[in-house]
């Protein structure tokens, strides 16, 4: 794993969790920057858990901010769906 594509967050108990950046993007629609990442844990169905947050790419130690609107979630889900479809085609 490339260390440049990882970052550490603290969970509710203050334990460090290493996360891997899957991708980042700026939305023309919302004018915000998003980061999509995983801690490489799996849900009860065996799917890798994926998270998304708003971030500021211009700050070195940026704070991840929650996504608050359904519209923003739809933008992210559309991109995730597109990436999954492209991934299926290339396999």
What is the C-alpha radius of gyration for the chain, rounded to an integer number of angstroms? Answer: 14
pTM of the model: 0.82
Cβ-contact 80, 72 below 8 angstroms: no
| pLDDT given for residue 91 in this prediction | 67
Q: What is the mean pLDDT of the chain?
A: 89
With a pLDDT cut of 90, the percent of the chain lying above it is 55
Q: Considering only CA atoms, which of 77, 51, 80 is closest in space to residue 65?
A: 51
8: its two tokens: 């550490």
Per residue in 23-50, pLDDT (tens digit) is: 999 988 889 999 999 999 999 999 899 9
- Dist. CA 9–CA 91, nearest whole Å: 32
Cβ-contact 38, 22 below 8 angstroms: yes
Q: Is the pLDDT score of 3 beyond 60?
A: no
Element housing 58 (H / E): none
């Amino acid at each position: 794993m490339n260390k440049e594509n990882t970052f550490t967050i603290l969970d509710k108990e203050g334990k460090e969790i290493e996360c891997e950046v899957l991708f980042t993007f700026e939305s023309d629609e919302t004018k915000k920057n998003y980061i999509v990442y995983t801690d490489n844990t799996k849900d009860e169905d065996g799917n890798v858990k994926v998270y998304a947050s708003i971030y500021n790419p211009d700050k070195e130690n940026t704070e991840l901010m929650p996504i608050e609107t359904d519209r923003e979630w739809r933008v992210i889900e559309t991109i995730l769906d597109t990436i999954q479809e492209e991934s299926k085609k290339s396999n």
